[in-house]
Amino acid sequence: MFLWSIYNENPRVPRVSFFLRSEAEYMNKRVVVTGIGIISPLGKKDAFWHNLLNGISGISSITRFNTKDSPVKIAAEVKDFDPTDFMERRDARRMDLFCQYAVAAAKQCLNDASLKIDKQNSHRIGVLIGSGIGGMQTIESQAKILFEKGMDRVSPFFIPMLIPDMASGQTAILTGAKGPNSCTITACASGTHSIGDAFRIVARGNADAMLAGGAEASITPLAVAGFAAARTLSTQNDLLTKASRPFDLERDGFVMGEGACILLLEELEHAQARGADIYCELIGYGASGDAYHITSPAPEHEGAQRAMKEALSDADITINDVDYINAHGTSTKYNDKYESLAIKKVFGERAYEIPISSTKSLSGHLLGASGALEAAVCALALFNQVIPGTYNYENYDPECDLDYVPNQRRSMLLNTVISNSFGFGGHNAVLVMRRWNK
């Protein structure tokens, strides 16, 4: 700690001392996960975890629009979602679907954590929810109205419904959380960056708890057409549930998913004081930028390597402490190849000993919500001491030669796990989580 003393010779001016603290001194509070809320193609939290461990896929034929002229006819849709289970119909009508998902997951999360927001604690509980795309359904529907009926028929709620930050805004409005409120937009790393940044907010003492995660609802004609044009989506339509095949030699692209996942990150003493159940402790966060290409990872996924190393350093652990890696694992040719290479560069020979799995094989790729959902997987894995497998792994790829936990769950002792997320534009984010021991 440094002391600056400023003294003016004028006796009428008092001596002033400024204390400047280092980052380490600010980041001294422990942060735990006490709540999980999930809206996903595999169901809400309990159903999601059951289906994930048992290899039950959420991928099927697209029902949201007519796919007759689309090269992509499959996706991982959320089924049987009724927003009025979580909010008033009037409120729901003023939200895009991604925002409805976020509010629903946040309310589930608070219920799971047994935390009630009231006048006494509202200013100490914040919200940080990311989205890669935001209100795509609203953009498409209102554009259609504009072209068919004219400018004066565009909804006055158009802008508030489409902007990505409204997931955080509406969640705060409908839960009463008045603490720090923000939104992270880093493509497929949005959910992970949101959790990492919220982790720092709680660790610094700027909030006692943060609702953090991601939300996405982009299974629309325009979004599917755009990703298909970029040749990132699987066109193995006839395979349906087997189309998402991370690290498999026959992989040809990701399957788009949707949904939201929100975690409650809580300062340890605050959680203990109210007798909260704890899933795990969040102990590290690393982030980096490729500065290389709008969609492709940097050579040898150099940016991912730095993010993993930074996360390990932030958690004050070594490569020998890591028991499991939840991979970004999109089922695209280059992501899976370069992520495997990055893991080998960071962990050396130890990489071949660490179980790695991609849960996108069953959930599809939730884009801006994917990292949050996978952080929840890590929390649940630590809590239950079991890791989900990488399903649809059937054909060995010599460039992806690690232990991908093929096609079945694995029970094992887990103390420390990491979760990787990488987004278009070269955004990389990594979380480190540790088993909670009372």
Query: Mean pLDDT lowest for which of 23-32, 61-70, 153-162, 191-200?
Result: 23-32
Q: What is the mean pLDDT of residues 32-53?
A: 98
User: Which residue of the set 188, 280, 378, 400 is catalytic?
Assistant: 188
For residues 322-328, give the mean pLDDT.
98
| Chain-centre distance for alpha carbon 131 | 9
> How many domains does the chain contain in total?
1
Q: Can you give the pLDDT at residue 419?
A: 98
Average pLDDT over the chain reads: 94
Q: What is the pLDDT of residue 17?
A: 39
Catalytic residue among 193, 270, 301, 365: 365
pLDDT confidence bin for 120, thresholds 50/70/90: very high
Give the integer Cα–Cα distance in Å for 21 and 175. Answer: 34
Q: What is the pLDDT of residue 269?
A: 98
Q: CA-CA distance, 7 to 301, in Å (whole number)?
A: 52
Q: Rounded to whole angstroms, how far apart are CA atoms 363 and 58?
A: 6
Is the residue at 1 inside a domain? no
**pTM recorded for the entire structure:** 0.93
Three-state DSSP string of the chain: CEEEEECCCCCCCCCEEEEECCHHHHCCCCEEEEEEEEECCCCCHHHHHHHHHCCCCCCEECCCCCCCCCCCCEEECCCCCCHHHCCCHHHHHCCCHHHHHHHHHHHHHHHHHCCCCCCCCHHHEEEEEECCCCCHHHHHHHHHHHHHHCHHHCCCCHHHHHCCCHHHHHHHHHHCCCCCEECCCCHHHHHHHHHHHHHHHHHCCCCCEEEEEEEECCCCHHHHHHHHHCCCECCCHHHHHHCCCCCCCCCCCECEECEEEEEEEEEHHHHHHCCCCCCEEEEEEEEEECCCCCCCCCHHHHHHHHHHHHHHHHHCCCHHHCCEEECCCCCCHHHHHHHHHHHHHHHHHHHHHCCEECCHHHHCECHHHHHHHHHHHHHHHHHHCEECCECCCCCCECCECCCCCECCCEECCCCEEEEEEEECCCEEEEEEEEECCC
The answer as to whether 131 is a domain residue is: yes
The pLDDT assigned to 375 comes to 98
Its sign, for the CA torsion 374, 378, 383, 385, is positive
Overall average pLDDT of the 351-362 stretch: 98
User: Residue 163: which residues within 8 A CB-CB, separation 6 or more?
Assistant: 134, 135
Cβ-contact 127, 106 below 8 angstroms = yes
In a domain, 431, yes or no: yes
Q: Kindly report, residue by residue over 249-260, the tens digit of the pLDDT.
A: 999 999 999 999
User: Position of tokens 């954590």?
Assistant: 113
CA 373 to chain CA centroid, nearest Å: 5
pLDDT computed for residue 27 by the predictor: 60
Question: In the predicted model, is pLDDT for residue 197 greater than 70?
Answer: yes
Q: What percent of the chain has pLDDT over 90?
A: 92
427 counts as catalytic? no
Q: What is the dihedral of CA 329, 330, 334, 336, to 10 degrees?
A: 20
Angle among Cα 295, 312, 284 to the nearest 5 degrees reads 90
pLDDT band at residue 25 under the 50/70/90 scheme:
low
> Is residue 185 a contact partner of residue 164, using CB atoms and an 8 Å limit?
yes
Which has the minimum average pLDDT: 103-112, 188-197, 265-274, 288-297? Answer: 288-297
Say whether pLDDT at 276 is over 60.
yes
Q: Which of 328, 378, 400, 427 is catalytic?
A: 328
Cβ atoms of 263 and 109 closer than 8 Å: yes
Structure confidence at residue 300 as a pLDDT band (50, 70, 90): confident
Q: Is the pLDDT score of 16 beyond 60?
A: no
Whether 123 is catalytic: no
pLDDT bucket at 437, cuts 50 / 70 / 90? confident
pLDDT of residue 26: 53
pLDDT at 1 over 80: no
Partner residues linked to 420 by β-bridges: 430
Q: Which neighbouring-strand residues pair with 37?
A: 262
Q: Can you tell me the mean pLDDT for 264-290?
A: 98
| Res. 50 pLDDT band, cuts 50 70 90 | very high
Q: Using the predicted structure, report yes or no on whether residue 21 has a pLDDT greater than 70.
A: no
Whether 10 is covered by a domain: the verdict is no
Residue 318's alpha-carbon distances to 300, 315, 322, 346, 350, in angstroms, are 21, 9, 8, 10, 11
Check residue 287 and give its pLDDT: 98
CATH number of residue 221's parent domain: 3.40.47.10
Mean of pLDDT values over 108-125 = 98
| Of 18-27, 59-68, 239-248, 340-349, the least confident | 18-27
- 354 close to 403: Cβ distance less than 8 angstroms: yes
d(CA 364, CA 329) in angstroms, rounded, equals 10
Tell me, yes or no, whether 358 lies in a domain: yes
Q: What is the mean pLDDT of residues 312-327?
A: 98
Question: Which domain does 338 fall in, by range?
Answer: 26-435
Does the residue 20 lie in any domain? no
Give the Cα separation of 278 and 437 in Å (integer). Answer: 9
In a domain, 13, yes or no: no
In a domain? residue 33: yes
Q: Which residue has the tokens 């890591």?
A: 322
